[in-house]
Amino acid sequence: MNGNTWLPLLVIASSLLPGLIIFGLAENRVRLRIALNLVGAIVKLVLVGWMLWGTSQGLHYEMRLVLLPGLELVLRAGPLSLLFVSLSAVLWLVTTVYAIGYLEGSPYRSRFFGFFSLCVTATVGVALAGNLITFLVFYELLTLATYPLVVHRGTEAARRAGQTYLIYTVLGGALLLLGTVWLYTLTGTLEFTPQGFLSEVGEEHHFALIIIFVLLIAGFGVKAALVPLHGWLPQAMVAPAPVSALLHAVAVVKAGAFGIVRVVYDVFGMEFASGLGVTGPLAWLAAITIIYGSMRALFQDDLKRRLAYSTVSQVSYIILGVAIAGPIAAIGGVVHLVHQGLMKITLFFCAGNLAETLGIHKVSEMNGVGRRMPWTMAAFTVGAFGMIGAPPVAGFISKWYLGLGALEAGQGWVIIVLAGSSLLNAAYFLPILHRAWFREPPDAWPEEHDFGRKETALMLLLPPVVTALMALAAGLLASAPFSPLEWAKLIAVREFYQP
């Protein structure tokens, strides 16, 4: 049954239009800008909710626009799309609130929020893309929309980081384009199909398909920060905290990981990809990234850089889950898409709060900060435990399914990787927690701002607490209906068991 054709487009427009209007706003129209942002975010949430409900009722939302004969822009709301769309919509709202609080009184806010909205638009577009070309379109838009956010501060370091970011992503985009076009010349279609659309391709092209796979993965791997394509991510930390949060939790990094999920499931198809023998190396690559990222995180004193390397490591959980080639691992990978988002955004919010309230940027400055900002650090603690994979936070659920999936697929080595990563995660998160809660606070913080009786501004405090609660809920209530886990199961069923 077909639902409203325009709904996917409306979901995209709900952030695009406010963004475009905001670009035109004068710097001092603060109220209007906030209103636009929030209305956009709430409308998007409502629309996504509508779409979720409709899809669960069996409605089918799809929109098509012909680009070239045989080449269409397609927006479609499937289970996988909805998972990512919901994540983006929810986190956008939260991040918007946070960003409003964070950027109060700083210059160039119109520009910031404009690109911010564009960034979300692109992410939602990536999520809803119904074929590879649409994905590519929004993926590139994402590159362009994020760049101004990375360099927003305008310092020399920001400019350099922006440059690095661009070099990586533009290169990745080029590889992606190449792979896409090549694929198109072989198949004549790019439509995402459960279990892939390549089974018709003849034997003689299999080598080409392997190269295409490598190209596509490399293209997406840049944003997903797969080693050795991760170099831009830690540098991009010069951006303001809401950007880092969005960059790492939802938009950029996830778009890359999501792309890999799409490639493996809906382009190649799990079965076909395993037949080609490409998932094994992918799993290894993901494993290396997981360990490497954690190792590097261990040695960072800068809090945000530590978190960034942690992202490098964690995002590859998703890829690992996808590459293990089994339904249960797939659940783990896909659900981690959401879980990691919730947990990492919490961590970045908290890092932003520390920087904004107390001027703390380094781990070594965090002594006793838990007593000064208990709520922030409580949220941080939840996030950190989630990253370690300790119950009951959401990360535990992901790790559980990944491990189980690895056992099921007969790839025991993955367990060792997971264990090693958890260990390393503990090694770089627990000392932070220890410092924050048990060390004596210093006499003076590096740069303290006064917020009266509260530990920090409410707009800054609420978002991390909310996301931390969500991360907790996603773990505790994993088996409740509409939980991320349940969606992930649905997706895995569609990929593995439907005829």
Partner 1 sequence: MGAEVSDIPWGLVLILLPLMGGMACFLWPRVTTMLGLVTVFGVALSVAGLGWQILENGVYRHAVGGWGAPLGIDLYADGLSLLMLTATALVGLGVSVYSAAYFRREDATRFWPLWLFLLAGLNALFLSADIFNLYVTLELMGLAAVALAALTGGKDALGGAMRYLLAALLGSLAYLLGVALLYHGFGTVDITLLGQRVESGPVLWAALGLMGAGLLLKTAVFPLHFWLPPAHASAPAPVSALLSALVVKASFYILLRLWLSIFGPLVGEEGVDTLLGLLGATAVLWGSVQALRQTRLKLLIAYSTVAQIGYLFLAFPLAAAAGVTAWHAVIYLAFSHALAKAAMFLVAGNLLRFGGHDRIADLDRVVQRLPLTTGAFALAGVSIMGLPPSGGFIGKWLLLEMALAQGRWDLVVVMILGGLLAAGYIFKVLGRAFTQAEVTHKSRAVPACMEWAALLLAIGAVLLGFLAVPVLSVVGIGDPFGVSGVRP
Partner 2 sequence: MNVDIYAMLLLIVVAWPLLLAIPALHSRLPWPHHLAIMPAVVLMILPGEASLELPWLFFGTGFAIDGDNQWILGMSVAIWLMAATIAKNIKHDFATPFFLLTLAGNLGVILAADLVGFFVFSAFMGYGFYGLLIYKGDAEVWRAGRLYLIFLVLADLALFEALLLAAFTMQNLRFEEVRHVMAEGSSSQFYIWMVLIGFAFKTGIWPVHLWLSAAFRSVSQLTMLLLGGVPVTMGLFGVVRWLPIGEHVYYVLGTAIQMLGVVAMLYVVLRLLMPSPVKLLPAWASTAVSGLFIAALGTGLSHPVVWHQYEHLIYPFIAILGIFLAVFGFAIGRLPETRRSPALVASRAEAFNLWVERWIGTVRSWAKDRLLGFQSHQRASQRQVVKQYQRILNWQKPGGVGVGWSTRISLFVLLGLALAWLAG
Instruction: Give the residues lining the site for partner 1 (CB under 8 A).
Output: 23, 65-69, 71, 73, 107, 111, 133, 136-137, 140-141, 144, 147-148, 151-156, 158-159, 162-163, 166, 170-171, 173-174, 177-178, 181-182, 184-185
Q: Is 202 buried (19+), middle (13-18) or exposed (0-12) by CB count in 10 A?
A: exposed
Cα separation, 98 vs 163, in Å, equals 26
Residue 495 is inside which H or E element, if any?
Answer: helix 484-496
Q: Report the residue from 390, 461, 466, 492 that binds partner 2 according to the rule CB under 8 A.
A: 390
Give 155 or 199: the residue with its C-beta nearer to partner 1: 155
Give 17 or 295: the residue with its C-beta nearer to partner 2: 295
| Residues 26 to 45 in contact with partner 2, rule: CB under 8 A | none
Cα separation, 494 vs 321, in Å, equals 16
Q: Interface with partner 2 includes 434 (CB under 8 A)? A: yes
Is the CB of residue 123 less than 8 Å from the CB of residue 142?
Answer: yes
| Residues 211 to 240 in contact with partner 2, rule: CB under 8 A | none
Structure-block tokens of residue 402: 């990944």
Give 173 or 370: the residue with its C-beta nearer to partner 1: 173
Q: Interface with partner 2 includes 371 (CB under 8 A)? A: yes
Q: Interface with partner 2 includes 422 (CB under 8 A)? A: yes
Q: Interface with partner 2 includes 385 (CB under 8 A)? A: yes
23, interface contact from partner 1, partner 2, none, CB < 5-8 Å by kind = partner 1
Is the CB of residue 220 less than 8 Å from the CB of residue 289?
Answer: no
Structure-block tokens of residue 145: 């929309």
Cα separation, 57 vs 51, in Å, equals 10
Cα within 13 Å of Cα(380), Cβ side:
29
Q: Interface with partner 2 includes 430 (CB under 8 A)? A: yes
CB of 235 to partner 2, least distance (A): 13
Q: Interface with partner 2 includes 362 (CB under 8 A)? A: no
Q: Interface with partner 2 includes 67 (CB under 8 A)? A: no
DSSP helix/strand/coil, 219: helix
Give 144 or 430: the residue with its C-beta nearer to partner 2: 430
Q: Interface with partner 2 includes 426 (CB under 8 A)? A: yes
Q: Report the residue from 6, 53, 299, 482 that binds partner 2 according to the rule CB under 8 A.
A: 299
Give 255 or 406: the residue with its C-beta nearer to partner 2: 406
192, interface contact from partner 1, partner 2, none, CB < 5-8 Å by kind = none
Q: Interface with partner 2 includes 428 (CB under 8 A)? A: no
Q: Interface with partner 2 includes 90 (CB under 8 A)? A: no
Give 89 or 468: the residue with its C-beta nearer to partner 2: 468
Task: Please give the backbone phi and psi of residue 3, each rounded to the nearest 5 degrees, phi first.
Answer: -90, -165
Integer angstrom CA distances of residue 266 from 17, 18, 133, 494 = 30, 32, 13, 10
136, interface contact from partner 1, partner 2, none, CB < 5-8 Å by kind = partner 1
Tokens 């970045």 belong to 348
Question: How far is C-alpha 334 from the geometric centre of its chain's CA atoms?
Answer: 11
CB of 35 to partner 1, least distance (A): 21
Q: Report the residue from 71, 171, 404, 459 that binds partner 2 according to the rule CB under 8 A.
A: 404
Structure-block tokens of residue 175: 């590889």
Q: Report the residue from 275, 280, 391, 441 that binds partner 2 according to the rule CB under 8 A.
A: 391
Cα separation, 143 vs 173, in Å, equals 9
Give 153 or 306: the residue with its C-beta nearer to partner 1: 153
Q: Interface with partner 2 includes 476 (CB under 8 A)? A: yes
Residue 321 neighbours by CB distance under 10 Å: 33
Q: Interface with partner 2 includes 167 (CB under 8 A)? A: no
DSSP helix/strand/coil, 131: strand
Cα separation, 210 vs 213, in Å, equals 5
Sign for the pseudo-dihedral over CA of 237, 243, 249, 250: negative
CB of 36 to partner 1, least distance (A): 17
- The size of the interface with partner 2 (CB under 8 A), counted in residues, is 35
Cα separation, 460 vs 462, in Å, equals 6
Tokens 């109060």 belong to 104
One-character DSSP codes across 362-421: BGGG-TTHHHHSHHHHHHHHHHHHHHHT-TTSHHHHHHHHHHHHHHHTT-THHHHHHHHH
479, interface contact from partner 2, partner 1, none, CB < 5-8 Å by kind = partner 2
Give 148 or 321: the residue with its C-beta nearer to partner 1: 148
Give 166 or 286: the residue with its C-beta nearer to partner 1: 166
One-character DSSP codes across 184-209: HHHHS--B--TT-S-TTS-GGGHHHH
Could you list the residues that contact partner 2 (CB under 8 A)?
295, 299, 370-371, 374, 385, 388-392, 396-397, 399-400, 403-404, 407-408, 415, 419, 422-423, 426, 430, 434, 437-439, 475-480
